[in-house]
Structure 1
Amino acid sequence: MTDRRETGERELTITRVLDAPRRLVFQAWTDPAHVTAWFGPRGFTTPMSTIAMDVRPGGTWQATMIRDDDGAEYSTGGFYIEVSEPERLVFTWGAPGDTRQESVVTVELADLDGRTEMTLHQAGFTTDDSRDSHHDGWSSALDRLTERFREATA
């Protein structure tokens, strides 16, 4: 696991090695049936009914994470910039209707003989606090994804 916060550029990079083939990891990012199982930090759920994905360049996506303890809702979404199955996905991230806080997420998937090295890079934060809160949220969500694949192979 590698995590980096690039303070000068307000970017973050998180790397995980997953016990799953690259195609399955790509599906975990692009199929609502998979996304609902891991998307969001611990203590949140993302019901499949809140997920919409049109996975193609120019297509849109959206999801709503719901905090388990109080039901607070956090909607996010954007559009796909690049879709290169199964190795690369680039999309915007922001609150629906608010492009002032929009950032760009790049997910790269490298084949490791049946396992996958996944690198998430997010750029375009307007503040260090925003970058840091996204770092914490992604780290928690990606831990959930890592555990999901680990449990599936156990």
Structure 2
Amino acid sequence: MGETERGVPARPATADREIVIPRVIDAPRELVFEAFTEVRHLSRWWGPEGFTTTTRAFEFRVGGEWSFVMRGPDGTDYQEWITWTEIVPPERIAMLHGEYRDDPNAFESILTFEPDGQATRIEMLTVFPTAELRDEAIEKHGAIEGGRQTLGNLAAYVAEIVRNVRTGAEG
């Protein structure tokens, strides 16, 4: 990010279309990254509280796709589709996320994983095609709280793996 003439950091051109959700997770970066790369992990934690995820297809590689259904606590099914656009283990994952392939309202998410001592600082940056779509995601779909809950579910899931490794239990 550059600076303006007065030395104030410049706002990115996409600021009015972004949601940024940070979280520190008490687990090593490699494990947190792995939780995003294998469907056996994703199906256990992906989504806000009360949601379940059923995968139809999954291929974790640039250009690969993840097709899945999220079922809400009220029984509503949400068709979801992701294609991976960048993968830099264990630092960064970028993806395009919509309801289906070529969805004109699909949004980009960039996940960064930074070591923070024995923990991992994860940041989920989501950029929507328009400010209106971002606002609708926040107001109608609770995108900020849903993102926080999703990262909370991830934190709980990897904490369970770490506990099981420490105690020798299977996870």
TM over 0.5: yes
Name 1:3's counterpart in structure 2. Answer: none
CA distance in 1, matches of 2:23, 2:159: 12
Equivalent in 12, 19, 25 of residue 19 of structure 2: 12
Name 2:144's counterpart in structure 1. Answer: 135
Contact 1:10/1:131 (<8 A) preserved: no
Please list, as runs of the form range in 1=range in 2, the aligned pairs for 1:1-150 lying within 5 A after superposition: 9-47=16-54, 50-69=55-74, 71-97=75-101, 99-126=103-130, 127=132, 128-132=135-139, 133-150=142-159
Contact 2:59/2:66 (<8 A) preserved: yes
Q: 1:93 to 1:116 in 2, by over 3 A?
A: same
Q: Counterpart amino acid of 1:136?
A: E
CA RMSD of aligned residues (A): 2.0
The Cα of 1:80 is off from its aligned counterpart by 1.1
Count of aligned residue pairs for this structure pair:
145
User: Which consecutive unaligned segments of at least 5 residues does structure 1 have?
Assistant: 1-6
More strand by share: 1
Bigger CA radius of gyration: 2
CA distance in 2, matches of 1:91, 1:124: 12
CA distance in 2, matches of 1:121, 1:92: 12
Q: TM-score, normalised by structure 2?
A: 0.76
The Cα of 1:75 is off from its aligned counterpart by 1.6
Runs of 4+ with >6 A deviation: none
The Cα of 1:10 is off from its aligned counterpart by 2.0
Q: Counterpart amino acid of 1:90?
A: A
Identity of aligned residues (%): 32
CA distance in 1, matches of 2:162, 2:60: 27
The Cα of 1:148 is off from its aligned counterpart by 2.2
Q: What do the CA deviations read for 1:19-66 (whole angstroms, capped 9, x no partner)?
A: 11111111111111110111111111113xx25322221111222111
Q: Counterpart amino acid of 2:154?
A: L
User: Which consecutive unaligned segments of at least 5 residues does structure 2 have?
Assistant: 1-13, 164-171
